[in-house]
Amino acid sequence: MAYDEGLAQRIREILDKRTEYVEKKMFGGAGYMLKGNMSVGVIGEDLIVRVGLENYDKALEKPHSRPFDFTGQPMKGWVMVGPDGYEEDEDLKVWVQQGVDFALSLPPK
């Protein structure tokens, strides 16, 4: 499955200010790790954001977001955001920051 390289590049540009991120191929797309913890990713045209259980319901209230259901079983604490939800650079930055904040709140792996 191909993934949106343009979205991946936009995420890299946001994360490039951080030296500790690592990009990995996963889920047929790309994942962005901070201190060994996944923060955001790209599958197809969708942005994946690890928001954590505390922020999960609130994240699902935002336009163009839905549960991360890659395997047929939704993963709580993760959301998928469709293209309309990250089209504007500021919206993408907010989503990426939410994933970064959650990943950095976890112990390093």
| Cα 45 versus chain centre, distance | 12
- 91 vs 104: CA distance, rounded Å: 20
Percentage helix, strand, coil for the chain under 3-state DSSP, each rounded to 5: 35, 30, 30
d(CA 62, CA 16) in angstroms, rounded, equals 26
User: Domains in the chain and their CATH numbers?
Assistant: 5-105 (3.90.1150.30)
pLDDT of residue 1: 57
Mean pLDDT, the chain, integer? 94
Percent above pLDDT 70 for the chain: 98
pLDDT for 17 equals 81
**End-to-end Cα separation, the chain, in angstroms:** 28
pLDDT digits (tens, 9 = 90+) for 11-62: 999 999 877 899 999 888 999 999 999 999 999 999 999 999 999 999 999 9
